[in-house]
Structure 1
Amino acid sequence: MTHCFYGNDHEDFRRTVRTLVERSVTPKLEEWDEARMIDRSLWKEAARAGAVGLRIPERFGGAGTDDYRFRCVVQEELAEVGAAALASSIAINEDIVGSYLTRFGTDEQQSRWLPGMAAGEVVTSIAMTEPGGGSDLRGMRTAARRSRTGWVLDGAKTFITNGYSSDLVIVAARTGEHDGRARLSLFLVPTDTPGFQRGRKLRKLGLHAQDTAELFFDELRVPADALLGEEGAGFEQLTAQLPLERLSIAWRAMVAAEAAVRWTVDYTRERTAFGQRIIDFQHTRFRLAELTTEVEVTRSHLERLILELNEGTLTAVSGAKAKWWATELQNRVVAACLQLHGGYGYMEEYKISRAYADARVQTLVGGTTEIMKDIIGRGLAGPRPRRDA
């Protein structure tokens, strides 16, 4: 890490988080993988340690800090032990739902949900992706129509992180059309609402401990005050939060790559072949030199973007660049590190094996690499000329 990036407060916080991870995360990783679910008690322990609720205002029980470097510390400590599933689950709760509520929620909505989130008693998720829809938000089919007392939702979502364990879901739904395009709105939906149904717990290539589910809404009725923000403003709300979401993914990718390199350096120092340590082969040293340099250069760039985020100047294009570069880097680095572990890298008892499977989704979630490149390219191209020009 760059010494000037963190201050004493961050390092004091790191010691607290590391103690939490050593006591309550590392011993449970295999158990959570088998159950395909993170124990709910962990959320409360994390809250007591201050590892969740960082962005939630103090009046609701959170830390009330906009300094994202504290979140960076949490992600680094989780990456070191290979707890990518937990890091992703917390990111949904903190970086996405928590941010939506603090930015767009009314006082009543915040008072109802933020204290429970800060205490680790309420787990949340956000439901955007639909079967067959992928990243096409404009093609969303889940719809909400007005009723005498509020709204009625019908539709289905898939690939929903925390979908099986969540108590509250932010649901994106169509609430009409404008100029032939769907108008989207966001709704706060408690998961005990009649008409809310969870489908199967999805089996995935990686992130096994992270519960991922299908969700269904059948004549689901919510009151008028379930609307989050303005009606029809959902697309703007979603896109406004995407730079933070994508930088969050990028940072998790980079620190996972860093951890993989550290594990591999340690392994190649200890493992011998043909009478010498693996790290003493020139090819191994050259490969590790390449990987270390790539990761360090990426960290320097992301640290600058984190500071831009803190200052409120992070742009959508910068977030897209960070996301595609760091997640592709993660996959390259982890694959190379597994190769240097040899056959043992394929064994689940080694962290690099889990990291390899966990990394693959990173170039897909939060917008694929191809979508990130399109965003960057459109930024370079500028606005399209009018047809009548």
Structure 2
Amino acid sequence: MKSCKSVLLFFSLIFGAVIHADPYTDDRYGFIVEPPVDWQITQSEKGLTATSPDGSVVFQVAAFESDKFESSMDIAAAFLGAMEAKGDTAGFVAYDNNDCILADASFDVEQGSLRGFFVFINDAPMDYIVMSYAPQELYDKVSDLIISSVNSFSPSQERYFYPGPISQFFYPVDGPQKKKYKLNILDTDFAINIDPGEEDASQVMIEREARILMTYKDELAYRAWERYYRLITRDQYVRLAPLVSQLEEILAKKNIDVQDYPNVLLKWLQGFDFKRSGTISDLIPPVSCLTQKAGDCDSLALTYLIILHYFGFDGILMLSSEYAHAMAAVDTAGDGARFSHDRKRYLVAELTDDVPIGMIASDMSDPAKWIGVSIFKYQ
């Protein structure tokens, strides 16, 4: 088994505790957000307001009936004009070809000048303004929090597993400059087309979230880890769709029963090289695991879980600071070690050693020294 000491790098766990940091779904308008951990969320008439614990950063979402504005530019002009805001704006396309505007703008209030990021989305059946801002003098210090909160927005459950709007602004999903990467499974060669720009955008997002993660200690760190891996999962999910289509075709031609997919895919990913990013996060995004045919314990586990989720398998990420390791665990039939989480017993899957599903090293088998992370939870 390869060493994976990058996992749980930033804090010491109190073993056995499980604390959830669920995404917030607005039942009135359908959008979902997951601002940084321990922010206070309150509903407003048109959406919500969330504030950082020290009150320095404010995150807001406002929803409007889609017949109120003709375009995202109309939304931006009306809002920024009313605020007498100054800054830069740029258009982009996100989700289902919705036209959007991103603004980095400043505006004045009685207490002084504020600066932040604003996203204007012309959607159906709702239009959205998504914004996060802080006092001008604090902007550089809290810009990660501002971007992260806006990027946690999703217009609906159907589009939850998409990169956030700022990630889509910086580089489009299904990028235009694809390269071909060759892979092999079950003695079958195939190729996937991935834009290296999407890899870079994913790594930027992961490093930003890792910097935020490093600020949490003690019990809040549990929730921060859940949020961290959920945001990565959301960013990566649609990027892996082309791979899943290829795998589905090959597995069907090989007459592999769906119930055997967890075993076959585990064996496949165990054959990848062991590699760490060497960055603050020390985590390679799943899309890069495919292009490099390499990854470490948590990046490979995320790749495995996302692929299986496409095929209808629920799974969780397992983390241990004591063992400095991560594994996957899957809700599937089979013999071996299981991990209890949210009233289910998940079969463990080790990604960095050539062992069958359900097998775990005896010196890592104490369940009290693992925590489970629900990376697919959005309700």
Question: Shorter-chain TM-score: what band?
Answer: under 0.3
User: Which structure's residues are more often helix, by fraction?
Assistant: 1
Structure with more relative contact order (C-alpha pairs < 8 Å, separation 6 or more): 2
Larger proportion of strand: 2
After TM superposition, the score normalised by the length of structure 1 is 0.27
What TM-score do the two structures reach when normalised by structure 2?
0.27
